[in-house]
Amino acid sequence: MIIQDIIDTRREELGIHQSAFVKTADLRFSDGVRHLCEENSCGQYGRTWACPPGVGTLEECKQQLLSYKNLFVFTTMHPLEDSFDVEGMAAGKEQHCEVRPQVVRLFREQYENILVLSAGGCQLCPSCTYPDAPCRFPEKLIPSLSSYGIEVNRLAAKAGINYINGANTVTYFTCILY
Ligand code: SF4
């Protein structure tokens, strides 16, 4: 069964809200997104190998990304009590992180070489080795979408899926390149 059919069959069971397949050649990269990383509103800049500057230059990220032909993007959507519901946002991200490995596994079963990008930051280790020693788990490392210069709102428009899903919800994105 091809990956599109597998995803279609298992979408609900996996907890995917929306998804699409896109050609990486159709992606647009943005310096601006990397500049937003430097402003560090998420607090992850310079903290791990998954975010700038540890992830590499934008050009290096772009070349790596373009070495894959296809991109699968999926979202999970989570209700919030209101737009200040930080705990709800964190719980939503946790749920997204539970869905993600199941989807990634489906791709790993079909493709030897994939790259996974997702919502920012790496929390795999209690204390990251960055910048003093190499990443402990490079095979598990999931760089942030923005560190690769991807404007998620434009990607969502290209993919025909929602960037936001209405008031009092939060939406998280993962991309799998293959
Ligand atoms: S896997 Fe560990 S060492 Fe590697 S980036 Fe994440 S926290 Fe750092």
Question: 91-125: per-residue pLDDT in tens?
Answer: 999 999 999 999 999 999 999 999 999 987 788 89
Q: Hey, which residues does 79 pair with through a beta bridge?
A: 169
- Token readout for 168 is 């009092």
Write down the pLDDT at residue 107: 97
Residue nearest ligand 1's atom 2 by CA: 125
Which residues, other chains included, contact 119 with Cβ-Cβ below 8 Å and sequence gap of 6+? Answer: 93, 96, 144, 145, 172, 173, 174
Q: Hey, which residues does 173 pair with through a beta bridge?
A: 75
125 lines ligand 1 (CB under 6 A): yes
97 lines ligand 1 (CB under 6 A): no
Calculate the CA dihedral of residues 125, 171, 111, 177 and round it to 10 degrees.
-90
Write down the pLDDT at residue 1: 81
Q: State the alpha helices, DSSP H only, in the chain.
A: 3-14, 31-39, 58-66, 86-110, 152-159
Which residues, other chains included, contact 143 with Cβ-Cβ below 8 Å and sequence gap of 6+? Answer: 49, 50, 51, 55, 61, 117
135 lines ligand 1 (CB under 6 A): yes
122 lines ligand 1 (CB under 6 A): yes
Section 9-34 average pLDDT: 94
pLDDT in tens, 24-43: 998 988 889 988 888 988 88
Write down the pLDDT at residue 42: 84
Write down the pLDDT at residue 43: 87
Which residue of 47, 124, 140 sits with most ligand 1 atoms within 8 Å of its CB, as the best mutation to test the pocket? 124
Section 46-73 average pLDDT: 95
77 phi-psi bin (left φ>0, alpha ψ -120 to 50, beta other): beta
Which atom of ligand 1 lies at the shortest distance from residue 128's CA?
8
pLDDT in tens, 117-148: 998 778 889 999 999 999 999 988 999 999 99
Which atom of ligand 1 lies at the shortest distance from residue 134's CA?
3
